[in-house]
Structure 1
Amino acid sequence: MQVAVIGANGAIGRCVVTEALAREHRVTAVVRRPAEYQGLAISVERGDVLDPEDVARVAEGRQAVVSAVGGGDGPGRGRLVEPAAHALVAGLRRLGDAAPRLLVVGSAGSLLTASGTPLWDEPSVPPRQFELMRAHGRALDYLRTVRDLDWTVLSPPRNLLPGERTGSYRLAADTLLTTPDGLSTLSLPDFATALVDELEHPAHHGERFTCGY
């Protein structure tokens, strides 16, 4: 499968690239500053996720586009998330029937906790994280209005941590997954495994799902 990974220089993006390459997919890393990408010896292209024309260019001829774009740094940390969702859709629509599948890395914020309320309503969520979570929530709300593209959002658990690839994880739809001791966590390599598994065996079309231990 030919896959473009937008935001390939971030922690999640790098793990997705590594996992997809290990399965012998043809991967193009799409980053804003290619000279700063110190990754594997793969195709690297400059691309701006906020520019629909750029999105169409890097997506053309590929079977899937993965957006692992982060929220940006500093004040207004979530400022990239919602406009990126709009630009991704606008760019893929330019390709018409040849548009590839879109898989977006989301946030845990809108997942429901055991109390039945979204995670972002928990008092323990710091303001900067809350801001990013709500931005991802607005992006998801927008994608749920899109009917003419094949899209999927994969929300991580509350904590994505460095660690080993075990290849083991659980799936859910809109419920935050936790371990018996109450932790909501997954290693970055296992998150990438779940994402590439979804690319290879599509099961969530036009919807969000989540994963965790």
Structure 2
Amino acid sequence: MRVVVVGANGGIGRCVVTEALARGHAVTAVVRRPEEYQGLAIRVERGDVLDPADMARVAADAEALVSAVGGGDGPGRGRLIEPAAHALVAGLRQLGDGAPRLLVVGSAGSLTTRTGACLWDDPTVTPRQLELMRAHGRALDYLRTVSDLDWTVLSPPQNLLPGERTGAYRTAADHLVATPDGLSTISLADFATALVDELEHPRHHGERFTCGY
């Protein structure tokens, strides 16, 4: 499968690239700093996720586009999330019937907890976390209005941490995946596994799902 990964410089993007390459997929990494992928047997493109024409260019020969665009660091770290969703949709629409499938890495913020409230309503969420969660929430709301593209959002659990790849995880729709003692977590490697599994065996079309242990 020809897979384009936008935001491949980030922690999630790198894990998705690694997982997809390990399974034999042809991967294009779209990054702001191409030099970070020097020496790897991978196609690297410099791309602007806020430019629809640029996204159409990098996705033109792909079967799937994965957006692992993060919020960056510092104040206003959620500012890219919603505009990026709009630009990706606009860019893929330029490709008409040849548009690839769109998989977007979301946030846990709008997932519901055992109390029935959204995670972003938890008083322990910091203002910086809330900013990013709300931005992802607006992007998801927008994607839910899109009916002419095949899109999926994968939200992580509450804690997305470094760790080994086990290949084991559970999924849910809009509810936070947690253990009986309330721990909601997954390793970056297993999150990437869940995402590439969805690429290979699509089950969630035009909807969000989540995963965790």
Normalising TM by the smaller chain, what interval? over 0.9
Tell me how far 1:61 sits from its aligned partner. 1.1
Aligned to 2:138: 138
In structure 1, the residue matched to 2:197 is: 197
Deviation per CA, 1:136-164, whole angstroms, max 9, x where unpaired? 00000000000000000000001111000
Q: Confirm whether residue 108 of structure 1 aligns to residue 108 of structure 2.
A: yes
Assess if the C-alpha contact under 8 Å between 2:9 and 2:33 holds in 1: no
Write the distance in 2 (CA, Å) between the matches of 1:21 and 1:76: 33
The 2-side partners of 1:68 and 1:119 are apart by: 21
Where 1:182 maps in the other structure, the secondary structure is: coil
TM-score, length of structure 1 as denominator length: 0.98
- Per-residue deviation at 1:23? 0.4
How far residue 41 of structure 1 moved from its aligned partner, in angstroms, is 2.8
Query: Are residue 160 (structure 1) and residue 160 (structure 2) matched?
Result: yes
Contact 1:28 1:42 in 2 (8 A): yes
Distance 1:166 1:151 in 2: 26
Find the counterpart in structure 2 of residue 119 from structure 1: 119
Residues 31 and 37 of structure 1 are in contact (CA less than 8 Å); yes or no, is this contact kept in structure 2?
A: no
- Structure 1 residues not aligned, in runs of 5+: none
- Could you tell me which amino acid in structure 1 is paired with residue 66 of structure 2? V
Identify the range of structure 1 (82-91 vs 31-40) with the bigger mean alpha-carbon deviation. Answer: 31-40
Note if 1:98 corresponds to 2:104. no
> Are 1:209 and 2:209 an aligned pair?
yes
CA displacement, residues 2-29 of structure 1 (integer Å, 9 cap, x when unaligned): 0000000100000000000010000000
* Residues 155 and 39 of structure 1: CA distance in aligned 2, closer, same or farther (over 3 Å): farther
Q: Percent of pairs identical after alignment?
A: 83
CA contact (8 A) 2:144 2:206 kept: yes
The equivalences for 1:47-62 within 5 A come to: 47-62=47-62
| Aligned-partner SS, 2:147 | coil
Task: Name the residue aligned to 1:87.
Answer: 87
**Are the equivalent residues in 2 in contact too, given 1:103–1:151 (CA < 8 A)?**
yes
TM-score (norm 2): 0.98
Aligned partner of 1:40: which letter?
Answer: L
Task: Give the C-alpha shift of residue 37 in structure 1.
Answer: 3.7
- Partner Cα separation in structure 2 for residue 46 and residue 85 of structure 1: 18
